[in-house]
Amino acid sequence: MPITIADVAARAKVSKTTVSRVLNGKGELDESTAARVRKVIEELGYVPSSRAVGLARGRTRVVGMLVPSLTWPWIGEVLQGAVDVLETERYGLLLFTCNRGEESMRQFGVQVSAKSFDGLLVIEPEGTLDYIATLHARGLPVVLIDDRDVQPMQIPSVGTTHFTGAGAAARHLLEIGRYKPLVIAGPERFGCTVQRLEGFATEYAEAGHPIPAGHILPGDFTIACGFEGVNAAIEAGLDFDAVFAHNDLSATGAMQAILDSGRRIPQDVAVVGFDDIPLAAHTQPPLTTVHQPLREMGEAAARTLLAHFEGSPLPNRPTVIPATFMARGSTGAGPAATT
């Protein structure tokens, strides 16, 4: 039979109320009594109901996290950053994905109604921002971890510097004499796509080398779009000496198409990605990319939420963690490039 709070109270020769106070850290107790209760808890292996403890404390000590899918290549890094903070502060994590679309969101809504968690971290599944904003307006603490334009919704958010990160990529390519870049963009509906394109194009325009519209190709952040985009550019006879892909997966696809065409990286075509997922350092040659501080973003979002639980107001401005530039072999830096 499971050990109960009554068993602990009987063994420690105290009331169940005293045991509850020890568990919840409430009320003034003689230290020797509290120590005796804790020792009995350890001896008996008593595990209190998390729901009961949460109700006693007025909170669950659980944070919810809503993400589109665990298959996105960078979500694991964000998730690990959040978990590192939550576990350190003895909070649990309740993870929700949108793999099954509306059914997933209905199940999520049930957990919201049941008040199964104290606050919510969100990497926004597409089409859910209005719903998340409504939850926040009704009193659920929410922090977004994302790269989209969410500030008009007045939801606290943590993001990075897509415009300046892409600008750093452009300056690097200009410095090594690459004046005819091909751009493999992300989906137009994403704020990060707009910011990365603007940051990159601005640097080239100011340097006197505006990017022709035909050199900016649509993409969807997949390996396939990078591969197909470069092949289409080659078939169309476009003259390019560099590729800037809006994420590392599409950059990887672009690299494969370049090599398949008989061109060399970086001697003939330099390649730059964005994100710095673990794969980037292990392509051949290693991929030059813009490093998103993914783990740091997860950490910052979790800290923001926990600070709010302790009485701090949620920030009314985005928390911005700068992106950094990582030069590697695909632009001629670091390990030897392919020949």
- Four-residue CA torsion sign, 50, 51, 57, 63: positive
Coil, helix or strand at residue 278: helix
Sign, CA torsion 162/196/174/248: positive
Query: From CA 14, how far away is CA 6, in angstroms rounded?
Result: 9
- Polymer length in residues for the chain: 339
∠ CA 36-40-42, rounded to 5°: 120
Instruction: Note if the pTM is more than 0.85.
Output: no
**Mean pLDDT in consecutive groups of 10 residues from the start of the chain, 339 residues:** 83 87 71 86 72 59 92 89 96 91 86 88 88 90 74 78 97 98 93 94 98 96 97 97 97 98 97 95 97 96 95 90 96 59
Is 121 within 8 Å of 143 (Cβ atoms)? yes
Q: What is the gyration radius of the CA atoms in the chain, in angstroms?
A: 26
Degrees to nearest 5, angle at CA 215 with 213 and 216: 70
Q: Which of 252, 240, 265, 234 is nearest to 333 (CA)?
A: 265
List the one residue out of 182, 196, 270 whose CA is nearest residue 226.
182
* Residue that is written with structure tokens 């957990």 in the block: 111
Q: Quick one: pLDDT at residue 26?
A: 62
Q: Which helix (H) or strand (E) holds 32?
A: helix 31-44
Set out the domains of the chain in order of their start, with CATH numbers.
5-57 (1.10.260.40), 62-159+294-320 (3.40.50.2300), 162-293+325-331 (3.40.50.2300)
Rounded CA-CA distance 260/269 in Å is: 13
Give, for 291, the enclosing helix (H) or strand (E). strand 288-291
CA 79, chain centre distance (Å): 7
Residue 269 has what pLDDT?
98
E-only strand ranges, 88-233 = 92-97, 119-122, 142-145, 157-160, 181-184, 216-217
Q: In a 10 Å sphere around its CB, with 0-12 CB exposed, 13-18 middle and 19+ buried, how is residue 130 labelled? A: exposed
Instruction: Look at residue 332 in the predicted model and tell me its pLDDT.
Output: 93
